[in-house]
Chain A
Amino acid sequence: MFREGIGEGTFTGYHPWVNLTYYIFAVGLTILTLSPWFLAATFVMAWMYSLLLRGREVVKINLILSLWIFVIMGALNLFFSHEGVTVLCYIGDNAITAEALAYGISAGIMLVSVILWFSSFNVIMSAEKLIFIFGRALPVLGLTLSMVFRYVPLLKQRFADIRMGQACLAKAEKPGYLQKVRQFGREVSILISWSLESSIESADSMEARGYGLPGRTSFHLYRFTGRDGRMLAAMILLGGFTAACLIGGTAKVQFYPEHIVPAFDPMTGAALACYCLLLALPILIDIHGELRWRRFDSAM
């Protein structure tokens, strides 16, 4: 249905604070527990959201990433941690235990989930939103970030110009390895002096427009609406409840010396339900939004 991914869906349109809160909860709660129920929930949801936004192009890279981290984490823990009572076998004098394996797998899933959350984070939290958020905390940081995002493409362009210019001058014979290094050094040196030179003009332009006067304000295009408020409230409620339960000791898993998964009591069930709902919110919103567009398109 969404083979190419929906890209920036409906959830992106919410206020940056809402987007950020979602990720704080998604990643924060993932780190908070090693309970298999919760890990399964976050792992599945992170996969789903990443897939929904970015489509099949992301399947391969996600799979490779998941598998490797999983294997490495599992193996590392298996071979370097020798605690636990259920010994599977011995390698030399070292015990390989089932508990270490269980811990390695759990931690691996946790790490993979966090990385997968960032895969969708990249789509949702554009540079513009990050600038806004940092700008709220520290206006200078916001502006600096904005300037960085301005200069990176500019420098790239300039470097391409320089390469091209230098290629025009290229001597006839094929350059050796040493000459190539020299040439690269020369190009970088041009880039630096050119950029330093032009930064004087940029500084003039900033000052000419009053930069440095006291009482600078910071402008943005985001508006916090009722929709954002309701969403934020729902997230804080769901996330807060889950966090409180987890911190309070619900579904606390013990690995050493013995792997003990507590029974699935009603409290765990409630917390898990809240957690799943929280994580699924943007997915539901995006799918709903997508379906609405399709209805709209077919009605036209």
Chain B
Amino acid sequence: MENSFFVDSARLSPKALEIKHRLESDPSSRKNHMEYMEGMQRIDSDVCKNVMAHFDSYDPSAYTAADVKAALTRTGCGIEDFKALLSPAAEPFLEQMAERARLETSRHFGNTVYMFTPLYIANYCENYCVYCGFNCYNDINRLKLSPEQIENEMRVIAESGMEEILILTGESRSQSDVAYIGEACRLARKYFRLVGLEIYPVNVDEYAYLHGCGADYVTVFQETYDTVKYESLHLLGHKRVWPYRFDAQERALMGGMRGVAFSALLGLSDFRKDALATALHAYYLQRKYPYAEMSLSCPRLRPIINNEKINPRDVHERQLCQILCAYRIFLPYVGITVSSRESASFRNGIVKIAATKVSAGVSTGIGDHESKYTGKEAEGEHGDEQFEISDGRSLFTMYSDIEREGLQPVLNDYLYV
């Protein structure tokens, strides 16, 4: 079934609707997505060029079973092997890939599984990304938590035992500026050992500021490396600028962050090519910044409020598993995070093969942790979710489930130095 991304809200003014429809139907009404906007910093980097050379020339259908077999029998895994493992020809070899991936995971990470929870502190957004629940034309409850509310949410989460937090905002500089996010990081340092950020891309000095406030990891999803497709999905706002987003992880490292995370949103475009580019993005940056810690995620499209038809299309669990095994074999040393977008059974299985980090106790809404964690009636207003999650397990349940699989859950393995 094809995705139906465009949804009109009855609350939009005729003028707003007119602009929205023009953006959707007339590409010439949109800004050039390859052109930097004012204030966006350019850095000197050849990482993008290296990644995109492979992305552009990669034809997944060109690989054969013999290529896959050769890749699986070789010691180590080169870029060509990785391309074979991502191809449709590798699908019949999924079990062998899983065996090899499990070996690599165990060699590098033993039986440990790290746990974290995301905290959305604001859902205002200035972008029109047609598949996202936070998009500026979607009629949802908007909220930005005050520092007191943030601290209250953090206290509730910390009381559950969680030690790593990922702070998220919608992508709105005007509603959630860098100082506001910095304040959230300072508060987080009081309650958590490790603070990560998933916010709009910023400049090097701003990443340095946020690092000084206590954040050490930055996640930016490129959504898709297919620039033409990207242009057709991100119609309005600063997020439309594809190359500025691409260089975000490098700017974060230049700003002093310890680690960075990458992903495409699988299902937006050719997921095999996007998976290739995601891993190569990490691979080339690691060569340039060898001390940096790299991590990959693997989000698939999920239904959003006002649009239940959004789904990951041809990326089924088998394909997702194939991608994760290929990631692990190609980059045995990177972290792999599997979020609550995926089902409990998938996550229980994949932590035994390739994943090293899972979220627990998740809400993608704003200001609702207290009611969700304690059952206490929500007093104030709350902001709506970015997408529907699939695995709603609490930290406690997740912890026991991981232990039951014979794995060691780890809440912290990090020091801010």
Q: Do A and B assemble together?
A: no
A contact residues vs B (CB 8 Å cutoff): none
